[in-house]
């Protein structure tokens, strides 16, 4: 009979508290000198503000329909930040003391993330291409609908999810930046580049939490990783909808636009999984119990299985779907 892991999640999370505080210094930037949305957008106090906006609008005209759709969907996802923050604050087994490492990390992370939706929203408002009322309805719906991402309130599952998600958002913002640059919109490219860089730092933080847990509670951490991959990582905005639509109906179209453009595809999902397997050195984990071994084997075999599926799946090339968010 295999020995059952004796260490509890509470013990592990308590042991990690000091890491959370260290993560603040390692993975978040000092606030006084950090970039702010207004660094990257036209300045309303300047005399040539309207000329700056005119130039922004001229450049925004060249962005493709799909790119604008993806950018709006990304913005709505960022603006649903209260959903993510409130979920992280009530995780089980973490120290909920407001001055504890976990609470401080969540607030620091939220404070950085909050700039993303703010910056992107202001850009879209100025661009002249967006029906802001319709977009705002979608944001309000997404906040009201919440999400169902399969982590429950388990920190282990949550850290797998957030590691994955931060890598996914890094990739998608980076790709939007590339497409914006190709279209000649340098301002948008810079903005998305700044957002992407934040996401990369955040990914490193959550990945480091998992690495640390793997050192002391590898079996349970692996089972949590396996469970999340069996459920598949769903995007935090999977309930996205527009006015008059059902929960999640718009998300399908947003996701198709992202796949058509190549901003985020099934192959990216596999690349992210592979990078997590490498980062966490899953292959090299030894001395596991039976469930840990099974989980490790499942995870190691998954990328090639997913690759076979992805190669058979062809994203829809053409769509006549018109988002209520976009004028043209
Ligand atoms: Fe973000
Ligand atoms: Fe993020």
Whether 202 is catalytic = yes
* CA gap 58, 43 in Å, rounded: 17
Give the percent of the chain with pLDDT over 70: 97
Model confidence over 69-109: pLDDT tens digits? Answer: 999 999 999 999 999 999 999 999 999 999 999 999 999 99
8 CA to centre of ligand 2 in angstroms: 28
Taking residue 150's Cβ as centre, other Cβ atoms within 10 Å add up to 15
Q: Which of 66, 74, 112, 199 is catalytic?
A: 199
Whether 169 is catalytic = yes
77 CA to centre of ligand 1 in angstroms: 8
Q: Which of 74, 112, 113, 226 is catalytic?
A: 113
- Is pLDDT above 70 for 5? no
Give the percent of the chain with pLDDT over 90: 92
Q: Which ligand is nearest to the CA of 77?
A: 1
Q: Which of 173, 194, 202, 253 is catalytic?
A: 202
pLDDT band at 320 (very low <50, low <70, confident <90, very high): confident
Taking residue 241's Cβ as centre, other Cβ atoms within 10 Å add up to 18
User: Tokens 């020995």 — which residue?
Assistant: 3
- Is pLDDT above 90 for 19? no
Model confidence over 38-47: pLDDT tens digits? Answer: 999 999 999 9
pLDDT band at 1 (very low <50, low <70, confident <90, very high): very low
pTM (2 d.p.): 0.96
Model confidence over 181-202: pLDDT tens digits? Answer: 999 999 999 999 999 999 999 9
* CA gap 210, 159 in Å, rounded: 6
DSSP code at position 2: P
212 CA to centre of ligand 2 in angstroms: 20
Whether 74 is catalytic = no
Q: Which ligand is nearest to the CA of 75?
A: 1
């Amino acid at each position: 009979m295999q020995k059952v892991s004796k260490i509890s999640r509470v013990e592990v999370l308590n042991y990690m508290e000091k890491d959370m505080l260290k993560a603040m210094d390692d993975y978040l930037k000092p606030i006084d000198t950090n970039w702010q949305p207004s660094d990257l957008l036209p300045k309303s106090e300047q005399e040539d503000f309207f000329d700056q906006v005119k130039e922004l609008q001229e450049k925004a005209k060249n962005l493709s329909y799909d790119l604008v759709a993806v950018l709006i969907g990304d913005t709505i996802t960022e603006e649903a930040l209260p959903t993510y923050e409130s979920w992280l604050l009530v995780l089980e087994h973490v120290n909920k003391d407001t001055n504890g490492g976990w609470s401080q990390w969540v607030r620091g992370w939220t404070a950085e993330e909050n700039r993303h939706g703010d910056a992107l929203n202001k850009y879209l408002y100025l661009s002249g291409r967006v029906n802001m009322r319709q977009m705002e309805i979608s944001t309000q719906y997404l906040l009201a609908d919440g999400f169902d991402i399969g982590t429950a309130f388990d920190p282990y599952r949550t850290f797998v999810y957030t590691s994955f998600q931060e890598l996914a958002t890094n990739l998608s913002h980076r790709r939007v930046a590339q497409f914006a640059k190709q279209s000649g919109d340098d301002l948008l490219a810079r903005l998305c580049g700044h957002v992407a860089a934040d996401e990369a730092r955040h990914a490193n933080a959550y990945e480091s939490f998992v690495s640390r847990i793997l050192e002391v509670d590898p079996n349970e951490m692996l089972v949590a990783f396996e469970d999340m991959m069996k459920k598949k990582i769903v995007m935090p905005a999977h309930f996205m909808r527009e006015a008059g639509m059902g929960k999640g109906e718009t998300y399908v179209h947003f996701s198709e636009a992202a796949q058509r453009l190549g901003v985020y595809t099934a192959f990216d999902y596999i690349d992210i999984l592979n990078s997590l397997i490498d980062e966490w050195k899953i292959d090299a984990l030894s001395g596991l119990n039976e469930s840990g071994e099974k989980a490790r084997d499942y995870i190691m075999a998954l990328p090639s299985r997913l690759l076979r599926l992805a190669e058979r799946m062809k994203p829809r090339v053409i769509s006549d779907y018109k988002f209520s968010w976009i004028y043209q």
